[in-house]
Chain A
């Protein structure tokens, strides 16, 4: 086995099939310690599926996945529980628990893993809520009473509840207003700096890509097309990549 030092996530020769449809065929990808890696690709290229596979929700047909240097598929359930404790996940549509209030949603990972007084948990959930830019009175509402963008933010607050070392974000800024999205980028940078967070982020937001990413991975044709720094990826010779980084929207940002 090759050394995995410096790698938080290491995906090797992954084959994923859902139904009769092969979504990834020999995909390899690395996410390095303390880096923010953005995963881009056309809609339907399997970014969300890749994320779910890495966190162990979808079983690959072939290939290996290592998180924190451990092969996820070989872990016992208590070890997997411990790994989960260090991962925060924001799903594409928030995936909040509809029967719990926002505060309870944020506190539930803490309750699951630690035994802390209610006051401390309220304090922590209030802090997380404010970090993602929501007012304190949102805390007593139910997810069905929130807008899509607010649900996203609550999802992020829940993902941050345990101060994870590894954060998975599925299109975190989709549905946020540009100011909120910019604040989100800043928060991400700040957390990365303070907590040495490693972030795996699926996004279409070119602003996010340019502001926060240390590394970009482009998915396409059922595998990893290219990964590297922004400049490396931008100069990669592939029609989709060229379109993506040199299209109209991208030009507007570069000006």
Chain B
């Protein structure tokens, strides 16, 4: 495997020019040989003799360069080239396969490029919106279809999804809510303490956790956990042509993949919200007890007093909506994957970012709605 170097020499006599090459004309040597070839002065006035006899080894890359050398020297008659058999045969092979290198796509000017990109992006956005609407329509159709024919409902897949997306997320959601409960209670006690209204920390805690934070924490964790999983699972199945295979077997991906995830998550998230609420309140209560020395009994009394009949239900009501947002976007992005691993990564990221964004948007809409109807 040890390689020696390749070389190119030019000599001249009165009547002719002598170009000789030797050594290893292989791809290892190309970076040295190529400048030498390109530097060669073209001189049409004298005849050129070319000597390839001393080449010890030539591969296709070397042969390519040799062909270019002959082109540059404008060698017309084969008699001018002296080579050994090996070089002859590899050069013949390369010549047979060589064609003018594919021309790169024409460069257009910068302004046109920008306009082109804007146009493409606009069309893409419109296209995506249309696709998404169709997707939602499809889901609805299948959902109604399942209601009409419960036999087609994939019970075991749905249970699996409840376990994977719901049950397995309990520890992380409990922990996070517990910690956020502590943070809210501590900050509340600190700020309200300045007014001497420490006791209202409990009201603050109750409203913040039950109305907003419990569901938001649960939804964001699930968007990160399950939204990405849905997109990646369905996306890699798509890359692997598994979805096409399903179609041919007569299984509908909507029914087999999307509905169990959608239904599973819609059932799980309210329960997860309940759990988040519980641990958030426990965390806050603990903090109130430690910092403000309010006994658990007093805490419970104040807590119950602070609740309006709706506080709890408002939080829970948002859960199925957020769950549907996460599941639909996760599955949709998964279905949009095409081509490469890069696309899989991009769509997985989008699934998470879009669902968190939409969760916040929907939360704001809910706030406005509840504000208008006055609860």
Q: Mark A residues whose CB is within 8 Å of B.
A: 68, 82, 86, 97-99, 103, 110, 114-117, 119-120, 122-124, 126-128, 130-131, 136-137, 139-140, 142-145, 160, 162-163, 165, 190-191, 193-195
* Separation of A125 and B89 alpha carbons in the complex (Å): 20
Contacts A/B (CB < 8 Å), 18 sampled: A98-B339, A98-B342, A114-B27, A115-B31, A116-B31, A116-B34, A122-B101, A122-B102, A123-B64, A123-B101, A124-B60, A126-B101, A127-B64, A127-B94, A130-B97, A131-B97, A163-B60, A194-B93
**What separation, in Å, do the CA atoms of A128 and B64 have in the docked complex?**
11
CA distance A243 to B312 in the complex (A): 75
Chain B residues, CB < 8 A from A117: 34
- Chain A residue at smallest Cβ distance from B35: A117
Set of chain B residues within 8 Å of A115, measured between Cβ atoms:
31
**Contacting B89 at CB < 8 Å: which of A99, A124, A143, A194?**
A194
Distance from B318 Cβ to chain A, minimum over Cβ atoms (Å): 38
Query: Residues of B contacting A110 with CB < 8 Å?
Result: 27
* Given A126-B101, A127-B60, A140-B105, residue A120 in contact with residue B34 (CB < 8 A): yes
Give B23-42 interface residues, CB cut-off 8 Å to A: 26-28, 30-31, 34
A143 and B340 contacting across the interface, CB-CB below 8 Å: yes
Q: Is the CB of B89 within 8 A of A193?
A: yes
Enumerate chain B residues within 8 angstroms of A165, measured Cβ to Cβ. Answer: 1
- The residue in chain B whose Cβ has the minimal distance to the Cβ of A193 is B89
Tell me the smallest distance from the CB of B6 to a CB of chain A, in Å: 13
When distances are taken between beta carbons in the complex, the residues of chain B under 8 Å from A119 are 101
* Residue in chain B with minimal CB distance to A160: B60
**CB of B338 closer than 8 Å to a CB of A:** yes
Interface of chain B: mostly helix, strand, loop or mixed:
helix
Measured CB to CB, the closest approach of chain B to A123, in angstroms, equals 5
In the complex, are the beta carbons of B94 and A114 less than 8 A apart?
A: no
**Contact status B97-A99, CB under 8 Å:** no
With both beta carbons as reference points, the residue of chain A lying nearest to B30 in the complex is identified as A116
Q: How far is the CA of A103 from the CA of B101 in the complex (A)?
A: 11
Q: CB-CB < 8 A to A194: which residues of B?
A: 86, 89-90, 93
The answer for the CA separation of A116 and B65 in the assembled complex, in Å, is 12
Other A-B pairs beyond A130-B98, A160-B60, 20, CB < 8 Å: A68-B1, A98-B343, A99-B340, A114-B31, A122-B101, A124-B61, A126-B99, A126-B102, A131-B60, A139-B102, A142-B339, A143-B340, A144-B338, A144-B339, A145-B339, A165-B1, A190-B93, A193-B89, A194-B90, A195-B90
A98 in contact with B105 given A68-B1, A130-B97 (CB within 8 Å): no
Chain A residue numbers with a CB within 8 Å of B341 are 98-99
Give the docked Cα–Cα distance between A195 and B105 (Å).
Answer: 34
On whether the beta carbons of B340 and A144 are closer than 8 Å, the reply is: yes
Would you call B27 and A162 a contact (CB within 8 A)?
Answer: yes
Query: Within B242-257, which residues are at the interface with A (CB < 8 Å)?
Result: none
Contacts of A120 in B (CB 8 A): 30, 34
Partner of A114, one of B28, B59, B101, B339: B28
| Residues A98 and B340 in contact, CB atoms below 8 Å apart | yes
Alpha-carbon distance between A99 and B1 when the two chains are bound, in angstroms: 33
- Write out the residue numbers on chain A whose beta carbons fall within 8 Å of the beta carbon of B98: 126-127, 130
Q: How far is the CB of B107 from chain A (nearest CB, A)?
A: 14
- Beta-carbon contact of A142 and B34 below 8 Å: no
* Residues of B close to A144: CB separation below 8 A: 338-340
The answer for the CA separation of A116 and B105 in the assembled complex, in Å, is 21
Task: Give the shortest distance, in Å, between A175 (CB) and chain B (any CB).
Answer: 14
Restricting to B52-107, which residues have a CB under 8 Å from any CB of A? 59-61, 64, 86, 89-90, 93-94, 97-99, 101-102, 104-105
Residues of B within 8 A of A163 (CB): 26-27, 59-61
Q: In the complex the two chains form, what is the Cα distance from A98 to B343 in whole Å?
A: 9
Q: Is the CB of A124 within 8 A of B97?
A: no
Q: Do A124 and B64 form a contact, CB below 8 Å, given A114-B30, A136-B99?
A: yes
Q: Are A127 and B97 in contact (CB under 8 A)?
A: yes
Closest chain-A Cβ to B296's Cβ sits at a distance in Å of: 54
- Docked Cα-Cα span, A139 to B101, in Å, equals 10
Least CB distance, B120 to chain A, in whole angstroms: 17
- Tell which of A99, A110, A195 has the most Cβ of chain B within 10 Å: A195
Q: How far is the CA of A154 from the CA of B368 in the complex (A)?
A: 58
B337-370: which residues lie under 8 A (CB-CB) from chain A? 338-343
A163 to B27: give the CA distance in the assembly, Å.
8
Interfacial chain B residues near A190, Cβ < 8 Å: 93
B340 x A142 contact (CB < 8 A)? yes
Closest residue of chain B to A83, judged by CB?
B1
In the complex, what residues of B have CB within 8 A of residue A140's CB? 102, 105
CB distance from A40 to the nearest CB of B (A): 28
A160 to B93 Cα, complex, angstroms: 14
- The minimal Cβ–Cβ distance linking B99 to chain A, given in whole angstroms, is 6
Cβ-defined contact, B59 with A195, below 8 A: yes
CB distance from B369 to the nearest CB of A (A): 44
Q: Which residues of A contact B101 (CB under 8 A)?
A: 119, 122-123, 126, 136
- For A127, list chain B residues within 8 Å (CB): 60, 64, 94, 97-98
Cβ distance B335 to chain A, nearest Cβ, rounded Å: 15
Task: Kindly report which residue of chain B lies nearest to residue A135, judged by CB atoms.
Answer: B102
Cα-based distance from A137 to B339 in the complex (angstroms): 18
